[in-house]
Amino acid sequence: MTSSSIVLLFGTFLAGLSKAFDMGLSTRCVSIPEDLSMCHDVGYTEMRLPNLMGYSSMAEVVSKSAEWHKLLNTGCHPYARTFLCSLFSPVCLDTFIPPCRSMCESVRDSCAPVLACHEQSWPESLNCDRFPAGDNMCLDNLGKEYQNKYKELPKATCQGCPLIEETYSYKTALDAFCDNDFAVKVKLARRKINQGLYEFMTEGPVEFIKQGQLFPYDTRNMIEQWLRINDNCGHHMIRHSRSMVYVIAGNVQHGKAVVNRVFHLQKKDIQLTLATRKWRHHKC
């Protein structure tokens, strides 16, 4: 979400400040520090302490917020960052403006399965029942037009890693294309961002062999999100510093994209190249 959009959101609620959620705490305004990186460029530069999580020291705020960086990096919900920053670094106004219950529920429903994938549960401190149900005295959810577009896009999901197929016949690949909703050819790479932490990415365009329910303008983001959510799969697929090319086939069910087959495309790979050519005229 852009900074101007967040500023507009806060401006929308100024008329209801006197009735907004207030913890009855004696608070102070402080600058959002550089090391509270997840809440940079959110449309304001000052926050209240203690915050809506009950943290009274900046050291605690920074330490606790860092635990959410990996989840935010998965892109599990477009409003997850705004939701968390409204709690960790609430804007410095006359009173607290909490997120609405509907926003919490929307973020929770999208992000809790990602946490579960990494053997974590949605924390009780973010129980959505603690937030107001009204839409006028709290930060509302995404606009309906954006919500509808977001719901249409296939989402990556947590899953077990499919076998990386190194040797195969062109018939095996053709059968995989027939059995799955989509098949794409993509070059994958990784780069080190911290000690022991890597970021996975696509390089160049995604080539559609079978498009299915995927959207050309979003498939690259969906693949990168799949790698971030299932980072153990990413480490198996991209084992070296050099990029690697794969053909990935899978299904989209109830808006969730699941990868079922992964073919490693190597140099002078005749079988997979032959399969992609024959697919144009192949009848399943």
pLDDT in tens, 134-182: 766 788 765 555 555 556 788 899 999 999 999 999 999 999 999 999 9
* Same-domain check for residues 183 and 225: yes
pLDDT of residue 78: 87
Q: What are phi and psi of 167, to 5 degrees?
A: -125, 140
Q: Which of 151, 185, 202 is the last residue of a domain?
A: 151
% of the chain with per-residue pLDDT over 70: 86
pLDDT of residue 2: 40
* Same-domain check for residues 131 and 240: no
CA distance 74 to 151: 17
CA distance 235 to 233: 5
Q: Which residue has the higher pLDDT, 241 or 141?
A: 241
CA distance 8 to 2: 10
CA distance 129 to 120: 20
Give the chain's domain count: 2
Q: Could you tell me which residues come within 8 angstroms of residue 89 by beta carbon, excluding any fewer than 6 positions away? A: 32, 36, 39, 42, 47, 51, 61
CA distance 72 to 38: 8
* Same-domain check for residues 101 and 162: no
Q: Which of 151, 170, 198 is the last residue of a domain?
A: 151
Strands annotated E in 197-255 = 197-210, 244-253
- 201: domain CATH number? 2.40.50
pLDDT at 252 over 90: yes
Q: Which domain holds residue 169?
A: 154-281
* Same-domain check for residues 268 and 136: no
Q: Which of 151, 181, 207 is the last residue of a domain?
A: 151
CA dihedral 115, 118, 119, 121 (to 10 degrees): -10
- 19: domain CATH number? 1.10.2000.10
